[in-house]
Amino acid sequence: MASYLVVCMAVLWSAVVAGDKSDPRAIGMARTINGPARGLAALGVNPANLGMNGHRLIGISLLSIGFRVSSELMSYDTYHEFFTGADGPNGVREPRFLDEADKAKLLSGFSDGTAVSTMDFEVMPVGLAAYHPEVGGFAIAVKERVGLRTVVPKELLTMLLYGLDPEGSSFTFDRTRISGWWFRELNLSYGRPVPVSLPAEAELYAGLGIKFLAGYGVMETLHYVASVANEPTGGNQYRGRLSFDYRIRRAGVEVLDPDKGGGLDLFPAPAGTGFGVDFGLAGKVYGVDLHVSITDIGSIRWKRNTVETYSRYQIDITDPFLGTIEDSLQYAVRGRNRSAGEFATALPTKLRIGLVVESGSRLLPSWFPSGILIAVDFTQGLNDSMGNPDNPRVSVGVEYSGIPVLPIRTGLSIGDDSRLRWAAGVGLELTKISFGIATESIPLLFDPGNFDLYSISAGFQFRF
Amino acid sequence: MNLRLLAALLAIVALLSLKCVDLPPSPVLPTWVTQGSIPLVDRTFTVADFRQKDPSLTVQADGGLVYSSTQTFDPAGIDTILIEPIPITRQQTLGPFAVDVPPIPPVVFTYENLTGVSPPSGSFSFPPAVLTVPERSIGPLSSFEYIEFESGTISLTIRNTLPFQLYFPDSLKIQNDDPAAAVVAAFRVQDTVRANGGIQTAAASLAGKTVLNAFRVLQTTATTPGGTGEIDAGEGLEFEIAITNAVVRAARSTIPPQSVPSQTRTFVLDDSVTIFSARFRQGSLRVDIQNGINVSADVLVRFKEMKVKSSGAEVAVMHHFDGTGSSTTQVDMSDLEFTAQVDSTGTQATFEIELALTGNSALTELRSTDQIQVSLSPGTPMMIERVDGRIPPTTLELATGASGLTLGEVADKFEGEVSFDSIEIAIQVQSSSGFPADYSAYFVGIDRRSIPAKTDSIFIPPPQGALLRRLFPAAGPTSIVLDNTVGLNTFLAKFFPHLPDTFIIRGTMTLNPSDLYAAPEGRQVVYDTSKIYSSVDVTFPVRMGIMNATVRDTIPLRVREKFPRDLAKSTRTATLNFSIDNGIPLALEFRSALLGPGPGGPRDTLLVIPTNGTRTIQAGIVDAAGAVVAPVVSNFAIELTGPEAELFERGESILVRLDVESAGGGAVVKVRDTDAVRVRASGTLVYQVNKP
């Protein structure tokens, strides 16, 4: 079955890794991880959690990989249906003809006028976490963070599918965005109990993480306003109206630029350097865990190969084949390049607030079953850098560990995109190693054709 | 149900429900139908745009256009002006000349020679007596052998130192010492020669006499009445002979330096060209000198009217002869200029022959009839650089050409009837020679672009306002106008829609015609670089009537793959909407055809566009003068179905045909700089993206 991408491999390779986008436990609970994360899982989420009990004395992670890709443009089924062709008379796949219903179906994915596509890829080649009840928790890890985020306006696809109407039409592409990043961080985090006088059964923890950053590539859309229209002017004549006003800047190491001798190089000289901080607090009171953190405070300053592509063009066109117009159109769409000089890119700073209630908490009634953990996260991006969403995200996650080696998890989230995401996952917790499988889109597991989000994480964590 | 059991079941069901995802086939872009209604063209073409690309078109004050073109003929050269001197030979004789006459030693007779005895010592008395004076020879003298005198005088002086007087009753004679013994001179001394130093002289003419270098004083007698005195041994008679004022006819003698009077001679430099002044470009004059005078001499031939350009010095040829001989000199005329001293038909020049004998110390035999001879003859052809004078009537062949006119690409693609409102061709002629000229020539037009080539000609009329076909270049350029009075419309009609691509003026031109040769106009300045310059100006206002005219053009579709063939394949329907504001006074009817390989051949008509008839673009509204006063808007559409559009995939070219007619059904209209046509076009294309 060579033509099969086996989801089961995701199971085999899933492991506990750091970060809310790649930890199967976090994903199974709809990325509700601020409260439940412990040890290396807390790295980059809430360093205060390192000081809390609940994880082994020493944890070592080797070559943990997290990969997450999602697209609102289309689901897998949509792709399969429309973009893989149809059987032709000679067994050759021929283009599928899109009728009006097909066009409407394709456009239905743009529920709020845009389709966001994201890809996150994180690799933690090695990580180490240690804990002592009196000293607190310490973790160190190297992480490679690669991501891409595009926002495609619905009107772009509408124009491609329906064209310019004889009665006149107008399309705006103002919300178009593209951003990408690749940087490497060395994260040193420490969390411990705060030695203050607290009421009985109350605990307070604080944590701090610092990050030394080496940037290898970035692209960000600073500004994008564009529109295309045709307007009848009488006598069956038309006036074309074009407006392009955008600025996209980028920087990167030479390996990203084939014109500069690009090639595989795992340790290229960085194009930018930076420093970041994670800060967190965690507390227990009245049987409820409260976690607050701000992560990725800082920036990367890019110095090498900085380029800004810009366009500022607005014109009414009645004769597009004039030489000057042709030239202008090319520059309007393709833009012109100029040196961007040094510039800084903020890290995707987030405010994370989480609540956790577990079975046995005084807040819960006595009949509440044991082995259940309920968590709620509120995450708000504090900037729009590196794919950081500007809308708040709220998620609720539940983990049931009635069978300790086989915890099941589920969760709901809203805010990452226009959809309500239902997540679920199953873990396999052995003594020295843990596995897990999770997805933020239930259809991936039970109806693989109908999903528009795919996430997978893999790795090993040895616990002592 | 037990919660743990439920959880376990859920976990197991979840694991068992896992499905695999088919690895999707390779992506294949779908196909769909879209459309586009977009502007294609909105351009205003003014006549000024067209005019600015063609320097032949200019604008009049009222905005009307004038086509004017000037084509220059190859200059016709006067060619070389040659003069040819008439060969002459002139002699100059030596004439009577001078020779060196040496002093003749005195002849002494002592007392003893006369008496035969020695004189007594002391004083004594000498009785009357008759004494014999003996014969005495003189010479030979060394400076000559003989001299034949033209004129001259020989004198005899007698000195008596004796103490008694003497008287010579007979003539004293001098005789050449040769067998002929001709008496050269006979002296008759009438008076007594007194004693003690008395002197008597007598002279005789030498004219016609020949004197040898050795001669004798013949014996004679002398009488004395006697006297007393003392006589020394050396005392006696002394004869002294001298030759004076000698002019020699012939001699064998030493020759002293002497000049011979010069002589002026004339020769004809050219018998056809009357030159007042001239500068020579090249050539030479041969000067031959033959010296028949056997003596060292300098011969100078001086040309009085010729001077060196650079210095103004007279031109002379000099040669030194050591005796008889000859010399030849080629006088390089390129350095010279000529200024005549008289105004006469033909050109006469003068030269002087100067002879200077430089003397001979050896004996030389000369005769006054000896002569030198100077011959002048042409060397290499003598070419004039500039001449001020009168040239004889000179006929030149005219066969000069100029490139013709072009109306651009229109000429290659246009056929029809065109009538010009007014047109004229002016031939401008100018000559730097200054000489009036009569012409008899044809103005020939040739169009080699037509097959077969077309040609026609017009006999060139007299200049405006003149009766004779005569040019007076000194008065400035002459304009010869060809217009409809000489049949220009007919001439040009044979070529249209082309204009002649070559003009030729063919015929003759006679410089300085005979009736003007002697007139003041017949004297001009001409250079050998003088040319006849001519050009032809074609001028006509762009006012024309066009009827039944057609412009055809073929637009290739495969040039540089400009035509997107995928577009043809994928087009379902295409509509091109035109809106044309026509502000020029021409109506156009449009049709075209898509050509390509088909059953009828490689250029078969695949499709006629538009398929449902022609499309008309109305002419602008014109006033009585034929000028546009308001544009006319013509809207039309050209529609193609998908199958029709698909034919473009095979199309090789589009043949476009425009039927052209001036406003008012072919009336004469006026095209102005501000006339314009605005062409707007939009396209509505229904297109299948990624059509398989």
Number of domains in chain A: 1
Distance of CA A189 to the CA centre of its chain: 22
Is B88-93+257-380 a CATH 1.10.520 domain? no
A418-434 pLDDT, tens digit each: 567 888 888 777 777 77
CA distance A249 to A345: 10
B7:A8 CB<8 A: no
Is A95 part of a structural domain of the chain?
Answer: no
Three-state DSSP at B52 gives: helix
At A191 the pLDDT is: 94
**In chain A, which residues have their Cβ closer than 8 Å to the Cβ of B37?**
164-166, 168, 230, 232, 238
| Cross-strand partners of A289 | A284, A356
Q: Which of A56-60, A343-347, B49-53, B522-526 has the highest mean pLDDT?
A: A343-347
CA distance B123 to B120: 8
**In chain B, which residues have their Cβ closer than 8 Å to the Cβ of A107?**
none
Report CA torsion sign: B402, B407, B408, B410: negative
**In chain A, which residues have their Cβ closer than 8 Å to the Cβ of B562?**
none
Nearest residue on chain B to A157, alpha-carbon basis: B34
Q: Which residues contact A259 (CB under 8 A, 6 or more apart)?
A: none
Is A90 part of a structural domain of the chain?
Answer: no
Domain enclosing residue A303, as ranges:
7-73+109-463
CA distance B552 to A256: 56
B66-79+398-541 topology per CATH: Jelly Rolls (2.60.120)
Residue B565: which pLDDT band, with cuts at 50, 70 and 90? low
A448:B20 CB<8 A: yes
CA distances from B428 to A360, B445, B460, B525, B618 (A): 121, 16, 12, 21, 42
**In chain A, which residues have their Cβ closer than 8 Å to the Cβ of B24?**
76, 79-80, 84
Is A102 part of a structural domain of the chain?
Answer: no
Alpha helices in B307-407 (DSSP H): none
B215-231 pLDDT, tens digit each: 999 999 999 998 888 88
CA distance B317 to B328: 10
**In chain B, which residues have their Cβ closer than 8 Å to the Cβ of A93?**
25-26, 28
The rounded percent of chain B whose pLDDT value lies above 90 is 21
- Nearest neighbour of B3 by CB, restricted to A168, A321, A369: A369
CA distance B201 to A15: 174
Residue B583: φ, ψ to 5°: -110, 20
- Nearest neighbour of B14 by CB, restricted to A4, A237, A445: A445
Is A1 part of a structural domain of the chain?
Answer: no
Mean pLDDT across chain B: 83
Three-state DSSP at B270 gives: strand
B104-156 pLDDT, tens digit each: 889 999 988 888 888 888 888 888 989 899 999 988 888 889 999 999 999 99
**Minimum mean pLDDT range among A98-112, B41-55, B119-133, B280-294:** B41-55
- Is there a contact between A455 and A24 (Cβ–Cβ < 8 Å)? no
Please report, for chain B, the start and end positions of each structural domain, with discontinuous segments joined by +: 44-59+545-689, 66-79+398-541, 88-93+257-380, 107-254
- Is there a contact between B242 and B155 (Cβ–Cβ < 8 Å)? yes
**Minimum mean pLDDT range among A356-365, A366-375, B426-435, B559-568:** B559-568
**In chain B, which residues have their Cβ closer than 8 Å to the Cβ of A91?**
none
- Is there a contact between A242 and A202 (Cβ–Cβ < 8 Å)? no
Rounded average pLDDT over A21-42 = 82
Residue A7: which pLDDT band, with cuts at 50, 70 and 90? very low
Is A405 part of a structural domain of the chain?
Answer: yes
Q: Name the more confident of B518 and B187.
A: B187
Three-state DSSP at B235 gives: coil
- Is there a contact between B367 and B94 (Cβ–Cβ < 8 Å)? yes
Rounded average pLDDT over A437-453 = 64
Chain B CB within 8 Å of residue A448 CB: yes
pLDDT at A397 over 90: yes
CA distances from A162 to A79, A107, B33, B564 (A): 19, 11, 8, 21
Is A99 part of a structural domain of the chain?
Answer: no
Is A84 part of a structural domain of the chain?
Answer: no
| Cross-strand partners of B330 | B286
* Gap between the terminal Cα atoms of chain A: 39
Q: Measure in Å the smallest separation between the Cα of B622 and chain A Cα atoms.
A: 24
Three-state DSSP at A93 gives: strand
B138-142's contacts with Cβ under 8 Å and 24+ in sequence apart are: B138/B104, B138/B105, B138/B107, B138/B214, B138/B215, B138/B216, B138/B217, B138/B241, B139/B177, B139/B212, B139/B213, B139/B214, B139/B215, B140/B177, B140/B212, B140/B213, B140/B214, B141/B102, B141/B104, B141/B213, B141/B214, B142/B102, B142/B213
CA distance A278 to A292: 11
At B668 the pLDDT is: 77
CA distances from B229 to B125, B166, B195, B222 (A): 6, 15, 10, 19
CA distance A44 to A183: 14
- Is there a contact between B679 and B615 (Cβ–Cβ < 8 Å)? no
Mean pLDDT across chain A: 82
Is A178 part of a structural domain of the chain?
Answer: yes
What is the pTM assigned to this prediction? Answer: 0.59
Residue A17: which pLDDT band, with cuts at 50, 70 and 90? very low
- Is there a contact between B274 and B307 (Cβ–Cβ < 8 Å)? no
Interface probe for A, chosen from B6, B10, B16, B18 (most Cβ of A below 10 Å), is B18
| Model-level ipTM above the cut of 0.90 | no
CA distance B459 to B472: 19
Assign 3-class secondary structure to B550-565. Answer: EEEEEEECCHHHCCCH
